[in-house]
């Protein structure tokens, strides 16, 4: 074999096949073991790298996106970062609408990839000024531009059904008792959950949710990024979720800091929330079982946010 055959064609080929790491110092001595699926190890730093490739492929196949065109999306950051990275490789322009609660670190990352970023007020979805509505309208008004539609298109959960789910099943196997993820678009928990349920219906699919998200209670503002919503996206299949558990901002951010300082895992606040729920879930299971939580993104996105507090 030619040694060049081992060299990837471009950075997009490095997406997926992320490692799974067991927690050592944070879990209690009782209950099941807890492991993190390190999606932060994707080249763009999050699980959204997977759906970016799927969304772009769908737009190309449907003829909505052509050579030299513009990718337009509404994003809380990670999907935008993934799409911006892919756009740089594929030769597309990129325009993103982001809510003003998004971290400055993520905005700078988007700009570093050459994307145009428009920061807008974080308002409810029914408001015409909502970032999703603005992004969709902008794409309609531009020539050769495609709205990616991470909140609407089946290409989002299907990416996780085809890749993330099978990876987790191969890595955890029959020891897997539960999978914990958050839901923003709901693509990850829906796609992975469907795949795992098909392998073993007894596996618990648990949704971690910010206090204030409508998945677990009445809506109110919250600070955790990338998970929780004020409506139910069409990409979220609630039928595969066995239960939801609410986590406060403080609980999530405290756990994220602990993961960095006690486990050497630099992750975002949403991952902190998922680990809180994973530990609660593991405490009720036997020690020979495994609970897997998603490490959705890297903590490098939040160094000027909660890590600076």
Tokens of 109: 């990352």
Q: How far apart are CA 84 and CA 86, in angstroms?
A: 5
Q: What three-state secondary structure class fits 95?
A: strand
Supply 62's token pair.
Answer: 């449907």
Report the C-alpha gap between 109 and 97 in whole angstroms: 14
Q: How many CB atoms lie within 10 A of CB 201?
A: 7
Does residue 37 carry a catalytic annotation? no
Residue 101: name the closest of 119, 82, 78 by CA: 119
> H or E stretch including 182?
strand 176-182
Task: Enter the tokens of residue 16.
Answer: 């997926």
Choosing from 6, 37, 48, 257, which is the catalytic residue? Answer: 48
CA atoms of 131 and 120, how far apart (whole Å):
6
Cβ-Cβ contacts under 8 Å for 164 (sequence gap 6 or more): 16, 37, 39, 47, 50, 188, 191, 192, 195
CA atoms within 13 A on the CB side of 44: 32
Is residue 33 within 8 Å of residue 22, measured between CB atoms? yes
Which of 270, 296, 278 has its CA nearest to residue 204? 278
b/e code 86-120 from CB counts within 10 Å (16+ = b):
bbbebebbbbbbbbeebbebbbebbeebebebeeb
The residues annotated as belonging to the active site are 48
């Amino acid at each position: 074999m030619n040694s060049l055959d081992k060299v990837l064609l471009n950075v997009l080929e490095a997406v997926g096949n992320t490692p799974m790491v067991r927690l050592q110092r944070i879990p209690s001595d009782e209950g099941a073991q807890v492991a993190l699926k390190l999606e932060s190890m994707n080249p763009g730093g999050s699980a959204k790298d997977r759906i970016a490739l799927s969304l772009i492929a769908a737009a190309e196949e449907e003829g909505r996106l052509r050579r030299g065109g513009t990718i337009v999306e509404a994003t809380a950051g990670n999907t935008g970062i993934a799409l911006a990275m892919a756009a740089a490789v594929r030769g597309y322009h990129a325009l993103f609408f982001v809510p003003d609660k998004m971290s400055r670190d993520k905005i700078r990352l988007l700009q570093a990839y050459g994307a145009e970023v428009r920061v807008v007020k974080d308002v409810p979805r029914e408001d015409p000024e909502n970032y999703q509505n603005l992004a969709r309208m902008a794409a309609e008004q531009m020539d050769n531009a495609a709205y990616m539609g991470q909140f609407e298109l089946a290409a989002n959960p299907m990416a996780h059904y085809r890749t993330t789910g099978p990876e987790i099943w191969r890595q955890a196997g029959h020891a897997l008792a539960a999978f914990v993820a958050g839901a923003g678009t709901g693509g990850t928990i829906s796609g992975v959950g469907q795949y795992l349920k098909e392998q073993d219906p007894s596996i618990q699919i648990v949704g971690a949710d910010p206090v204030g998200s409508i998945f677990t209670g009445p809506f109110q503002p919250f600070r955790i990024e990338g998970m929780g919503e004020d409506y139910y996206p069409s990409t979220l299949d609630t039928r595969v979720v066995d239960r939801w558990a609410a986590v406060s901002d403080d609980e999530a951010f405290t756990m994220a800091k602990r993961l960095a300082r006690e486990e050497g895992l630099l992750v975002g606040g949403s991952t902190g929330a998922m680990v809180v729920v994973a530990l609660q879930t593991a405490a009720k299971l036997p020690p020979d079982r495994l609970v897997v939580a998603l490490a959705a993104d890297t903590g490098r996105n939040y160094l000027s946010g909660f890590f600076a507090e």
